[in-house]
């Protein structure tokens, strides 16, 4: 415990990593709230898996693990996957869930093939691209963390600036169109922000588990409130707490992946919310039902006594 505290207080790289995962958690929680309410949560999963071939192609072209180049490759691949889902859904008889599964499996399978190809190259064994599968925050360099931190901060700021427009578009797209809002541009912007959030977090959380960072904090926050603004704040807090806790736990042993620990923390917060949230928690509902039934029995008992006395 003392070693962890010393690392947090005095290790500059650890502080940068914690800041990066915290901002990543906030950005994922904020955008995940909109994605959940827009029923586009699984799009994030498809984009996360689809980022792998872009990462591998960028490495094969540059021959080095440049974070900027890898993120550009992942962004292009992720955007291509997201737009493929939209094109398939709008121009064919296939439903969105089928399109998501199709795009996810094709892109991820292609990414695994390319990852195998990378591992067979001279510098491939030392590339560290396998960290993108499950995430490894400890492998991040100072420049990587600063890039990830800056990108996450931009995502949070842009989402805050577009909050009103995204809110209207989420709950009533027809009303948003009637107001004269550029709905297509807003949809494109939101999809791009979602892709960017996934791309920024894949090295810390991994392509397989990044979708959980978008979905789990948002679902947990949904149990606590009916207000979108409050839901976004709570979801961002849960995402930040998951990112920080997962990163700290992954430093307890050598080679421990960060992504699974972050997801486990987020899942724990979701279970607590599902059980003990003030209005919608299962335990809370059970207690309210128990008190209600007790009150009903008490009233029936009093009415029975009054009838007997009469």
In 3-state terms, what secondary structure has residue 24? helix
In which band, very low, low, confident or very high, does the pLDDT at 271 lie, cut at 50, 70 and 90?
A: very high
Which pLDDT value is given to residue 123? 62
Structure tokens at 226: 């009916």
Which pLDDT value is given to residue 122? 65
Express each pLDDT in 132-164 by its tens digit: 776 666 666 677 777 778 888 888 899 999 999
3-7, 201-205, 277-281: range with highest mean pLDDT: 277-281
Q: How many CA atoms lie within 13 A of 101 on its CB side?
A: 5
Distance from C-alpha of 23 to C-alpha of 149, rounded to nearest angstrom: 6
Does residue 269 surpass a pLDDT of 90? yes
In 3-state terms, what secondary structure has residue 122? coil
Q: Among 35, 38, 45, which Cα is nearest to 201's?
A: 45
Among 103-117, 217-231, 293-307, where is mean pLDDT lowest?
A: 293-307
Does residue 231 surpass a pLDDT of 90? yes
Does residue 241 surpass a pLDDT of 80? yes
Among 57-61, 181-185, 202-206, 237-241, where is mean pLDDT lowest?
A: 202-206
Cβ–Cβ under 8 Å, residues 33 and 226: no
Which pLDDT value is given to residue 90? 83
Which pLDDT value is given to residue 56? 87
Structure tokens at 88: 């398939």
Cβ–Cβ under 8 Å, residues 209 and 93: no
In which band, very low, low, confident or very high, does the pLDDT at 10 lie, cut at 50, 70 and 90?
A: low
Does residue 217 surpass a pLDDT of 90? yes
31-40, 57-66, 126-135: range with highest mean pLDDT: 31-40
User: How does the average pLDDT of the chain come out, rounded?
Assistant: 83
pTM for the complete prediction? 0.83
Which pLDDT value is given to residue 250? 77
Which pLDDT value is given to residue 9? 61
Mean pLDDT, residues 26-42:
88
Structure tokens at 185: 């541009």
List of domains in the chain: 2-279 (1.10.3470.10)
Q: Name the percent of the chain in helix, strand, coil, to the closest 5.
A: 85, 0, 15
């Amino acid at each position: 415990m003392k070693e962890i505290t010393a690392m947090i207080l005095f290790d500059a790289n650890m502080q940068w990593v914690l800041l990066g995962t915290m901002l990543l958690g906030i950005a994922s929680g904020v955008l995940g709230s909109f994605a959940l309410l827009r029923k586009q949560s699984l799009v994030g999963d498809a984009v996360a898996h689809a980022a792998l071939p872009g990462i591998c192609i960028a490495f094969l072209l540059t021959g080095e693990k440049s974070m900027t180049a890898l993120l550009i490759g992942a962004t292009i691949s992720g955007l291509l996957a997201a737009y493929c889902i939209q094109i398939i859904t709008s121009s064919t008889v296939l439903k969105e869930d089928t399109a998501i599964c199709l795009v996810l499996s094709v892109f991820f399978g292609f990414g695994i093939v390319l990852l195998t190809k990378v591992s067979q190259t001279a510098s491939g064994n030392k590339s560290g691209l396998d960290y993108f599968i499950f995430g490894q925050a400890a492998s991040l360099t100072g420049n990587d963390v600063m890039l990830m931190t800056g990108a996450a901060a931009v995502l949070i700021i842009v989402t805050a600036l577009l909050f009103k427009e995204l809110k209207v578009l989420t709950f009533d797209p027809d009303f948003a169109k009637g107001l004269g809002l550029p709905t297509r541009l807003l949809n494109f912007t939101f999809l791009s922000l979602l892709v960017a959030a996934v791309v920024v977090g894949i090295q810390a959380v991994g392509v397989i588990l990044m979708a959980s960072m978008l979905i789990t904090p948002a679902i947990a926050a949904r149990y606590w409130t009916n207000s979108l603004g409050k839901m976004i704040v709570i979801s961002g807090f849960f995402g930040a707490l998951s990112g920080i806790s997962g990163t700290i736990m992954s430093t307890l042993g050598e080679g421990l992946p960060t992504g699974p620990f972050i997801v486990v923390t987020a899942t724990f917060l979701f279970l607590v919310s599902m059980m003990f949230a003030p209005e919608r928690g299962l335990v809370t509902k059970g207690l309210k039902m128990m008190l209600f039934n007790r009150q009903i029995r008490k009233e029936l008992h009093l009415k029975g006594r009054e009838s007997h006395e009469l």
